[in-house]
């Protein structure tokens, strides 16, 4: 098996792990740990693993002083705001809603690139943005018969997607100057200290003796597979496949998430969700389409 084939498998697993995260979070939060406390373990333990991985690589750990504000901005948008709102929103909405709303990230990246990077505006991009916004709006305001989703949860997930899109724009110049894993490691380092004041109280309130074995396994899987391997595999995919191919695998997330949620959380997939999914998928396709 060559590096390209391994990269395709790695990126597919990345999106499977991410989709699984949605149900794992539901299993442990808020029953075992508050939503912000989940991020303490996700970011903190993954950060230690990234530092250990880098220590064995023998490479320099330095970053340029002029880049520190950009790293801090990436940590704020890509870890602090993004991760905290994502977990909080997920605890009060359905996994299917969360997975579909996260698909708006590529459209938001396109929108911010049009504004900040002066990329060329086309009719297809404009139509795609409108369809995506319409799909997201339909999803947020649709009535969920299972009673799992909420407007406030959906809005938090959408703000999380906006924050991640801003992170992506901020991180692009850093990915050119530094190895991707180096960037992620420092972003997690800055981000951990940003989330610490908000997450520590949730950690202190955990009743460990009352934790079930399935909750402990879920928490460990969320950290190791859902965070460390997810970021590592995605970085490997970026290196061997490029951003375009790696990013296209995001379309598999709602499929995985819907199957897992239906099997383990008994969430349903309504007609309104289907229409919203079509609009969002079509919007992402149009904003990502390039002229030949």
What is the DSSP code string of 145-183?
TTS---HHHHHHHHHHHHHHHHHHHHHHHHHHHS-HHHH
CB of 61 closer than 8 Å to CB of 54: yes
241 pLDDT more than 80: no
Longest dimension (CA), the chain: 60
The alpha carbon of residue 118 and the mean position of all alpha carbons in its chain are separated, in whole angstroms, by 25
Predicted pLDDT at 290: 57
**pLDDT one-digit tens code per residue, 201-236:** 999 999 999 999 999 999 999 999 988 998 888 777
Mean pLDDT of 97-114: 71
pTM over 0.85: no
Predicted pLDDT at 71: 94
Mean pLDDT of 83-107: 79
Mean pLDDT of 137-164: 72
Distance, in Å, from the CA atom of 84 to the CA atom of 81, rounded to the nearest integer, reads: 6
Residues 6+ apart with CB under 8 A from 71: 63, 174, 183, 186, 187, 190
CB of 18 closer than 8 Å to CB of 230: yes
């Amino acid at each position: 098996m060559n590096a390209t084939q391994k990269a395709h498998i790695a990126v597919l697993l990345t999106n499977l792990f991410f989709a699984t995260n949605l149900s794992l979070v539901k299993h442990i939060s808020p029953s075992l740990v508050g939503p912000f406390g989940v991020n303490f373990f996700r970011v903190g333990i993954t950060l230690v693993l990234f530092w250990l991985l880098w220590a064995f690589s023998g490479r320099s750990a330095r970053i340029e002083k002029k880049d520190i504000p950009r790293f801090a901005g990436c940590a704020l948008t890509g870890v602090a705001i993004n991760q905290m709102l994502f977990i909080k929103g997920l605890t009060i909405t359905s996994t299917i809603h969360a997975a579909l709303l996260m698909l708006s990230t590529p459209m938001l990246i396109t929108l911010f690139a049009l504004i900040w990077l002066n990329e060329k505006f086309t009719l297809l991009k404009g139509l795609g943005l409108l369809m995506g916004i319409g799909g997201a709006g339909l999803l947020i305001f649709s009535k969920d018969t299972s009673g799992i989703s909420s407007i406030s949860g959906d809005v938090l997930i959408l703000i999380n997607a906006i924050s991640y899109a801003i992170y992506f724009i901020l991180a692009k110049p850093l990915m050119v100057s530094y190895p991707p894993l180096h960037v992620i490691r420092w972003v997690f380092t800055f981000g951990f200290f940003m989330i610490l004041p908000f997450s520590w109280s949730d950690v202190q309130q955990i009743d460990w003796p009352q934790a079930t074995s399935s909750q402990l396994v879920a928490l460990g899987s969320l950290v190791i597979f859902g965070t460390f391997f997810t970021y590592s595999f995605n970085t490997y995919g970026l290196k061997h496949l490029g951003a375009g191919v790696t990013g296209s695998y995001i379309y598999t997330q709602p499929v995985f998430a819907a199957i897992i949620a239906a099997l383990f959380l008994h969430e349903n997939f309504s007609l309104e969700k289907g229409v919203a999914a079509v609009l969002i998928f079509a919007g992402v396709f149009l904003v990502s389409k390039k002229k030949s």
